[in-house]
A and B are shown apart, each in its own frame.
Chain A
Amino acid sequence: MSAEAGRAVRQWRPLGVLAGAAGLLLLPLLLEQYKLYLASLTLVYLILAIGLNLTLGYAGQISLAHAAFMSLGAYAVAILVPLGVPFEGGLVIGAIVAFFWGLVLGFPALKVKHHYLAMVTLGFNIIVFLVLRNWESLTGGSSGISGIARPRWGPIRFQSDGAYYYYILGWAMLAVASAHWILHSRWGRAFRAIRQNEMRAEVVGVSLRNYKLIAFAIGSAYAGLGGALFAPLLTYIDPGAFTLDRSIQFLMMVVIGGLGRFEGPFVGAAVLTLLPEALRRSQGFYLIIFSLAVILMMLFMPKGLVGIWDWIVGRATHRGLGPAGPPAPGGPVTEVTPQ
């Protein structure tokens, strides 16, 4: 039964995507201001989660500096736009700086075992936080930068919350499309090959270190992009938004969604943005519930919420890319992270 059910899901999939896109386009008409802000925030987090999913989910590298990379994009926009640089210029510069730092951190760390990247990125996030807080002439120190302008294209201004939502939506769609393209390119196949079996990947000629490095740097660039969009959404940034805790949250986002699954970041970003709002009155308990959920998920559902969906649909095999993807090379993969 499972194979037929899987096929049925696959057939209905384009329709579902269309319905989802239509829903996203209509959101500003339906939602009040605060809820629209949450929708925009979810899209920003989606971009960040897509990046981390490339790094962690597909290439298996733990990054604990995603918030730091995000801050590079956010501060690039906040500092450069008032100097006359167009918003998109600041955004691209932020993403490039994040990409560059990804290379700088990844290059020595990936020379040794993979846990070093976790350590290096952890240190990097703390250093970036300290620099942001103490380099007052550039970053405004702990009081941050306020009055960050939203982008404008000549007469078209994305000043209102609704307009800026569409602006973010455009970038989010670009991020989704580019990630889809990357994962279906030669690179993407190499990423997946690495995650499934490092030794086999190396034997068939994948240069592990270079691909991991590129995967990490691309993931960081997505974080820079997300950060650049994040700053004008709040119109205010300070170092407190880019702490190590925030990086860990992004990590959890990807894990709860479903590691190495294309749908994972969608689910993770939505759940981790909306759940705290739903449980707002019990801030402290939310964190307890959240951490318990993470532990239980690792124990019993390491494939994340997407895994639960798979289970409900009852597909017998799990493919690296989900229903729409081509068959993974070398047959179905069942383990999350084979040693």
Chain B
Amino acid sequence: MRDVPQLFVAGVSIGSIYAMAAIGFVLLWQTSGTINFAQGEFVVLPAFVMVFFLTVLHVPFAVALPATVVVSILLLGLLVKKVLVERLLRMGVLPLVIATLGLSMLIRYSLQQFWTPLALPFPTIFPRAPIRAGGVIVSSEDLMNVLSAALVIGTLQLLIRRTKLGWAMQAVAQNRDLALILGINVSQLVGLTFMLNAALTAAAAVLIAPIYLVKYDIGIAIGLKAFYAAIIGGFNQIRGALLGGLLVGLVETYAGAYISNQFRDAFVLLILIGVLLLKPEGLWGVREE
């Protein structure tokens, strides 16, 4: 039981990365009603872009990071919004859902065909040296991951709580039609949300890439974890997605270490089913009618 605290930090570390993807997912749902089935690939693509900057162009990390975020915002934010969402949003939920399923396959198999079917190594960003504190050993990489994720999510919360843009987003999330009548440019806001989401997934990509390795099909697993996190925590609340992400990370870390590595995902799924049966709006969500 000595490793309980160490596993806790590891679980929170991976969980906070899931939470970032889940929060983006929830933001998209709130402002545009999009269920983005390509969210996993939205994390994978920036990871590949980062590898491209670092190992093909040999750009220093301090340049590659912002460049990756910008490319992600342009491709997965602006382009997706302009080409797909703008047109499909008018047709209801189903066409857009199916289009994002298509998009996830398109990104995944394009990376496999045109880049590589192999796993690419990703440079470690934070040193993996263990930190000892009173008999407890914690990985410094995990600790830095948690801090970085907290920084990103904290900034986002500030943006949503304290700026006009954030208020407009909350208004649209609460009542789309009313927001439209009040003169909020909903279409523009949806675009901004997509860009915000792209920035979030790019940040998640940079943190998760050293853990998962960069491979074309890891998006399936990452996307699923983001879904689970959003549903378990609450599909319509950012705090819910955060809680859900942490819970998913902790459960899979502890289950993998103590119970069975093979059934690691099954425990998360059991929680998922329990939540859907007993509290379908999520542990920390609000009931939608």
Which residues of A come within 8 Å of B, CB atoms?
Answer: 56, 60, 62, 108-109, 111-116, 118-120, 122-123, 126-127, 130, 134, 244, 248, 251-252, 255, 259, 284-285, 287-288, 290-292, 294-295, 298-299, 302, 335-339
Contacts and interface: CB of A to CB of B under 8 A. Distances in A.
Interface of B: 35, 83-84, 87-88, 91-99, 101-103, 105-106, 109-110, 112-113, 220, 224, 227-228, 231, 235, 262-263, 265-266, 269, 272-273, 276-277, 280-281, 287-288
Contacts, number: 114
Contacts of A108: 276-277, 280
B81 to A, nearest CB: 13
B95 A302 contact: yes
B21 to A, nearest CB: 15
A122 to B, nearest CB: 7
Contacts of B224: 122, 126
A130 B268 CA distance: 13
Contacts of B92: 335-339
Contact of A284 (B98, B112, B228, B265): B112
Contacts of B281: 112
B98 to A, nearest CB: 5
Contacts of B288: 112-113
The 4 nearest A-B residue pairs measured at CB: A294-B102, A337-B92, A291-B105, A291-B106
A330 to B, nearest CB: 18
A336 B228 CA distance: 29
Most chain A beta carbons < 10 A, residue from B83, B231, B287: B231
Given A290-B105, A295-B99, A298-B102, A336 B262 contact: no
Given A112-B281, A116-B276, A336-B91, A288 B101 contact: no
Contacts of A290: 105
Contact of B88 (A115, A298, A338): A298
A120 B276 contact: yes
B173 to A, nearest CB: 14
Contacts of B96: 298
Contacts of B287: 112
Given A122-B224, A288-B109, A299-B83, 4 more contacts: A116-B276, A126-B224, A295-B84, A295-B103
B103 to A, nearest CB: 6
Contact of B103 (A123, A285, A291): A291
